[in-house]
């Protein structure tokens, strides 16, 4: 048996700067904008990729992108979020009972 049984978790520690606010990618897949333009029921093919959503109105025609807003990512949090009193009490209790001594300084730094 290898070290995988001794350390079953691969933990990555992140802070508030890790989290990003993702924009709503698509509010509508309707290909047209005004009355008389194609509607969703006219779409014959949809393709979802990491670059966006593409569609065609008939088989064999080139894919066209669905209108999408800017993909600029912004920080979700400007600073770390405060801990509630209940969370602080729970962490203190865990430090006294479950959390090993070598990890307690980290948790105490949060309190």
Q: Look up the pTM and report it.
A: 0.40
pLDDT at 86 (0 to 100):
95
Q: What is the pLDDT of residues 3-35, one digit of tens each?
A: 556 777 888 888 888 888 766 666 777 788 888
pLDDT at 94 (0 to 100):
92
**24 Cβ contact list (under 8 Å, min separation 6):** 69
Residue whose C-alpha is closest to residue 77's, from 25, 23, 18, 24:
18
């Amino acid at each position: 048996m290898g070290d995988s049984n001794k350390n079953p978790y691969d933990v990555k520690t992140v802070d508030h700067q890790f989290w990003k606010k993702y924009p709503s990618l698509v509010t509508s897949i309707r290909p047209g904008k005004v009355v008389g333009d194609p509607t969703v029921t006219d779409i014959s093919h949809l393709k979802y990729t990491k670059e966006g959503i593409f569609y065609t109105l008939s088989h064999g025609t080139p894919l066209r992108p669905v209108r999408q807003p800017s993909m600029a990512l912004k920080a979700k949090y400007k600073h770390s979020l405060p801990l509630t009193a209940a969370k602080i009490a729970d962490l203190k209790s865990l430090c006294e009972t479950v959390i090993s001594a070598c990890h307690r300084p980290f948790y105490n730094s949060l309190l």
